[in-house]
Amino acid sequence: MQFSWLIFSVVVVANLLWMVAMFAAQQFDKKLPRRHLIIPWTNQKFLYMQDFWTMTWGDLIGVPLIWVAFIHLAVYRHLGIWHWLCYLALAVIVSAIFLKMCLSSKHKPDMGFPRLGRISRTGIIHLPYFGFGVTSAIFCLWFIITGELWESVLLVGLGGALLYAHCFVADIVSGNLAPLKRI
């Protein structure tokens, strides 16, 4: 599969525009608590996008590299209708699971889910982004296993996945993804 700089460029720009939309929604949302405000009855800070490793380096660099690999598959492998139906169904399922997890009483409030059981505009914009990102990674993994994703496109996708995994671990270690802990 030949690497396309056009696909790379379009994906990077589209991802950047989606990230700008999320950031703008966060910045213009006057209902969000102040950044780093201590969440009542806890010792935990209220976090914004820029506080998460996954939402900065992971979403700005890692996710688009995964999407570059997936879009190469879509363009050069010509995914069939069943692939697309499975893709959309899985994206909806992943988004629903993420939403349920973030609306739970154990989720620490943040810019996407500022109060228990509530979602913000940023959270609404992030929900499909998360679903499509995870689903694209799953599809890429499937096509690696079946031997249909290879060469430079494989390396780009793996690079994105490794960077995102590193960011995810950094968010865990830093406590950014810790559950809500009442004192």
Nearest residue to 122 (alpha-carbon basis) of 33, 7, 32 = 32
In a domain, 38, yes or no: no
In a domain, 27, yes or no: no
Domain that residue 93 falls in: 48-174
pTM (2 d.p.): 0.94
State how far the Cα of 83 lies from the Cα of 88, in Å rounded to an integer: 9
In a domain, 179, yes or no: no
In a domain, 43, yes or no: no
Give the DSSP letter string of the chain: ----HHHHHHHHHHHHHHHHHHHHHHHH-TTSPPTTPBPTTBSPBPB-GGG-TIIIIIIIIIHHHHHHHHHHHHHHTT--HHHHHHHHHHHHHHHHHHHHHHHSTTSPPBSSS-STT---HHHHHHHHHHHHHHHHHHHHHHHHHTT-S-HHHHHHHHHHHHHHHHHHHHHHHHTTTPPP-B-
Q: What is the pLDDT of residue 142?
A: 95
In a domain, 90, yes or no: yes
State how far the Cα of 45 lies from the Cα of 167, in Å rounded to an integer: 19
In a domain, 68, yes or no: yes
In a domain, 86, yes or no: yes
Q: What is the pLDDT of residue 29?
A: 97
- What's the structural domain count of the chain? 1
Q: What is the pLDDT of residue 77?
A: 85
Q: What is the pLDDT of residue 1?
A: 79
* Tens of pLDDT, residue by residue, the chain (183 residues): 789 999 999 999 999 999 999 999 999 999 999 999 999 999 999 999 999 999 999 999 999 999 999 999 999 987 899 999 999 999 999 999 999 999 999 999 999 999 999 999 999 999 999 999 999 999 999 999 999 988 999 999 999 999 999 999 999 999 999 999 998
In a domain, 24, yes or no: no
Q: Which residues pair with 45 in a beta bridge?
A: 38
Q: What is the pLDDT of residue 12?
A: 98
Q: Decide if 165 contacts 58 (C-beta within 8 A).
A: no
